[in-house]
C-alpha cells in the first residue's frame, strides 16, 4: 500500500459504520484522490488496508483466476463516489464503477437537487425471483395445469427440500403458478410453463432458483403428462421491483440561461417524448442505466441480469416505454418516479471472491438487498433527472463534454498537470476534439512552459 500514516491522518483499523452519515460533501470533487480517500476512510469506517486496496487495485490476478476461466490478467475501471444521496431519510455514499465521464458528477448533481425536496422516497417488493420450468408435449394443458395446482402444497415442500439452507435463513418457495403458452405453430401446442416463486432473502438468487427448478421439474412433467425442457430463472424479475419517487423544487432546476419553471416544463416535455416514442425511450432508459449499472458493478452484482430485467420490464405492455416519468405537481414542484425490477444481492456470488465488491458494499452502508435496490433505483432516477435537465436547458454537451475534455486531453498525449490545463482550454474554446487538444499541447510545449 502506498499511503503513509501521515497522508491518511493516522493508522486506522476497519470499523463498522455507526449512525447516519452525511453524503452531502460540497466540493468533494475538487479534492485530490488521497484527500478523498481520507475523507471516505473516516466516513465509511474503512481500515488503512482497505483504503490501500481502493488506491492500488482491488483484485489480484490470483483472485481473478479463481473467478473466471482462461485468466490472463485483470481489467480496471474507475471507482467514484456518488454524493448527496438521501433515500428514505438516510444518507448514502454510493460506489460507482464506470468508464464514462460526467456520469458520477451528473448523478451527484441531481441528488443534490432532490435533497432540496426531501430526498428520494423508495419502496421495494420482497426479494422474490421466478424460476421457469418449461413443459412440452402436454396432451391436455388444462388438465395438466389442474394436476399441478392440485399438488401445489406438496410441490412447494419439494422445492424447499431442495434448498434447506435458504429456508433456514427465512426464504423459500412462496408460490407456484402455471401458464399456458399460446401456440403460434403446430410444434408449440401443448406447452406449459411453471413459475416457481422463490424468496431469495439477500441473495440475487440465480443459482438458488435454478437448483429448485431442476429438483422439481421431473415431478411437474409427470403431473402434466408431458416432458420437461428448460429449468432456469427469468431475468424479468417483476416480482422484485423497486419504486422510487422524488420532488424537486423548481428553483434548484434553473440553469445559466433558463429559469426553473422553463427547465421543469422542458423535463416534463422530455418525459412525454419518451412515453410516446420508443426511439427516445431507449435513450431515456440508457440515461437511467448510466446510474444503475455503475452501482451494480461496484457491488459485485450481475449487470447483464439487471439490464435484461429493466428492458424487458420497459417493454412489458408490448411497447417499449420509459422506466421513469416526470410531471409538474399541483404545488409547482417537479415530480419524478421510476419503477423497475432489481434482481441484486448483498450476499453470495461475486461478493464471496471479489474484495472490491465487498468494499463497494461496505461503502454503501446498506444492510439488505432490498435497501441496495432502492439506492440503485434512486441513482437511476437521479441520472435521468441530470440528463433531462441538461437536455431541456443548455444541451448535454456543455456539462458532459467539459468533463469528457480530460479524456480527450489524455488521448492527445497530455499527462500529469497538463491534463487539466489542456482540458480547461478545450472547454473554454468549446471545441473538445483530439486535434484541438494536440494543437494546444504542442503550443504549451513550444512555449517551454512544460
Retrieve residue 445's grid coordinates: 510545449
Q: How many residues bind ligand HMG (CB under 6 A)?
A: 28
Interaction of residue 284 with ligand HMG, rule CB under 6 A: yes
Nearer to ligand HMG, 106 or 412 (CB): 106
| H or E element, residue 336 | strand 334-341
Distance in Å, CB of 248 to ligand HMG, minimum: 13
Active site (annotated) includes residue 30: no
Interaction of residue 103 with ligand HMG, rule CB under 6 A: yes
For 264, 345, 402, 440, the CA distances from 431, given in Å and listed in that order, are 29, 43, 9, 11
Active site (annotated) includes residue 284: no
In the window 260-279, what residues touch ligand HMG (CB under 6 A)?
Answer: none
For 204, 212, 434, the CA distances from 167, given in Å and listed in that order, are 15, 12, 58
- Catalytic, out of 3, 35, 55, 100: 100
Distance in Å, CB of 81 to ligand HMG, minimum: 9
| Beta-strand runs (E) in 40-171 | 79-87, 90-97, 121-124, 128-136
384 alpha carbon, distance to own chain's centre: 13
Q: Which residues pair with 228 in a beta bridge?
A: 135
Binding segment for ligand HMG among 12-20, 243-251, 382-390, 413-421 (CB under 6 A)?
382-390
- Start-to-end CA distance of the chain, whole Å, equals 30
Mask of contacts with ligand HMG, 287-326, x by CB under 6 A?
x--x------------------------------------
In the window 401-440, what residues touch ligand HMG (CB under 6 A)?
Answer: 403
Interaction of residue 86 with ligand HMG, rule CB under 6 A: no
| H or E element, residue 178 | strand 172-180
Nearer to ligand HMG, 1 or 77 (CB): 77
Q: Which residue is nearest to ligand HMG (CB)?
A: 399
Cα separation, 334 vs 336, whole angstroms? 7
Cα separation, 139 vs 150, whole angstroms? 18
339 close to 241: Cβ distance less than 8 angstroms: yes
Distance in Å, CB of 306 to ligand HMG, minimum: 17
φ/ψ of residue 91, rounded to 5: -85, 145
Nearer to ligand HMG, 79 or 343 (CB): 79
Nearer to ligand HMG, 38 or 84 (CB): 84
Q: Which of 23, 38, 86, 108 binds ligand HMG (CB under 6 A)?
A: 108
- Give, to the nearest 10 degrees, the angle between helix 103-116 and helix 369-392: 100
**What order of strands is seen across the sheet that includes strand 241-248?**
121-124, 241-248, 334-341, 324-328
Q: Which of 43, 44, 94, 106 binds ligand HMG (CB under 6 A)?
A: 106
Interaction of residue 346 with ligand HMG, rule CB under 6 A: no
Binding residues for ligand HMG, per CB under 6 A?
26-29, 83-84, 102-106, 108-109, 112, 283-284, 286-287, 290, 386-388, 390-391, 396, 399-400, 403
The set of catalytic residues is: 100, 286, 302, 400
Amino acid at each position: 500500500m502506498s499511503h503513509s500514516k501521515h497522508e491518511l491522518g493516522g493508522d486506522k483499523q476497519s470499523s463498522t459504520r455507526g449512525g447516519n452519515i452525511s453524503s452531502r460533501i460540497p466540493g468533494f470533487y475538487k479534492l485530490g484522490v488521497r484527500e478523498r480517500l481520507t475523507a471516505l476512510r473516516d466516513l465509511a469506517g474503512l481500515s488503512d488496508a482497505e483504503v490501500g486496496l481502493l488506491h492500488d487495485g482491488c483484485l489480484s490476478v490470483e483472485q481473478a483466476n479463481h473467478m473466471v476461466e482462461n485468466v490472463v490478467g485483470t481489467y480496471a475501471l474507475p471507482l467514484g463516489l456518488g454524493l448527496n444521496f438521501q433515500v428514505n431519510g438516510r444518507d448514502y455514499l454510493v460506489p460507482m464503477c464506470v468508464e464514462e465521464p460526467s456520469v458520477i458528477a451528473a448523478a451527484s448533481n441531481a441528488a443534490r437537487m432532490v435533497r432540496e425536496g426531501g430526498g428520494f422516497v423508495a419502496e421495494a417488493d420482497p426479494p422474490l425471483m421466478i424460476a421457469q420450468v418449461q413443459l412440452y408435449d402436454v396432451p391436455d394443458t388444462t388438465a395438466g395445469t389442474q394436476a399441478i395446482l392440485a399438488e401445489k402444497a406438496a410441490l412447494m415442500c419439494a422445492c424447499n427440500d431442495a434448498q434447506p439452507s435458504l429456508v433456514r435463513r427465512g426464504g423459500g418457495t412462496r408460490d407456484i403458478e402455471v401458464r399456458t403458452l399460446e401456440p403460434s405453430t403446430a410444434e408449440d401446442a401443448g406447452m406449459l410453463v411453471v413459475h416457481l416463486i422463490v424468496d431469495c432473502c439477500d441473495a440475487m438468487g440465480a443459482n438458488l432458483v435454478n437448483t429448485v427448478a431442476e429438483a422439481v421439474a421431473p415431478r411437474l412433467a409427470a403431473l402434466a403428462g408431458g416432458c420437461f425442457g428448460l429449468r432456469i430463472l427469468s431475468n424479468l424479475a417483476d416480482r422484485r421491483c423497486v419504486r422510487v419517487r422524488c420532488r424537486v423544487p423548481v428553483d434548484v432546476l434553473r440553469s445559466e440561461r433558463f429559469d426553473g419553471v422553463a427547465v421543469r416544463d422542458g423535463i416534463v416535455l422530455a418525459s412525454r417524448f419518451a412515453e410516446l416514442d420508443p426511439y427516445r425511450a431507449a435513450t431515456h432508459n440508457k440515461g437511467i442505466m448510466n446510474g444503475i449499472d455503475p452501482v451494480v458493478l461496484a457491488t459485485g452484482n450481475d449487470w447483464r441480469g439487471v439490464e435484461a430485467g429493466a428492458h424487458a420490464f420497459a417493454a412489458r405492455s408490448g411497447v417499449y416505454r420509459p422506466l421513469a416519468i416526470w410531471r409538474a405537481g399541483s404545488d409547482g414542484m417537479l415530480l419524478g418516479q421510476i419503477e423497475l425490477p432489481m434482481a441484486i444481492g448483498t450476499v453470495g456470488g461475486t461478493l464471496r471472491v471479489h474484495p472490491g465488491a465487498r468494499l463497494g458494499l461496505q461503502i454503501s452502508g446498506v444492510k439488505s438487498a432490498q435497501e441496495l435496490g432502492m439506492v440503485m433505483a434512486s441513482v437511476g432516477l437521479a441520472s435521468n433527472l441530470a440528463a433531462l435537465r441538461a437536455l431541456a436547458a443548455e444541451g448535454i454537451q456543455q456539462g458532459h463534454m467539459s468533463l469528457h475534455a480530460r479524456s480527450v486531453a489524455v488521448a492527445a498525449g497530455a499527462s500529469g498537470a497538463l491534463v487539466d490545463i489542456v482540458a480547461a482550454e478545450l472547454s473554454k474554446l468549446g471545441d473538445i476534439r483530439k486535434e484541438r487538444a494536440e494543437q494546444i499541447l504542442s503550443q504549451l510545449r513550444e512555449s517551454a512552459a512544460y
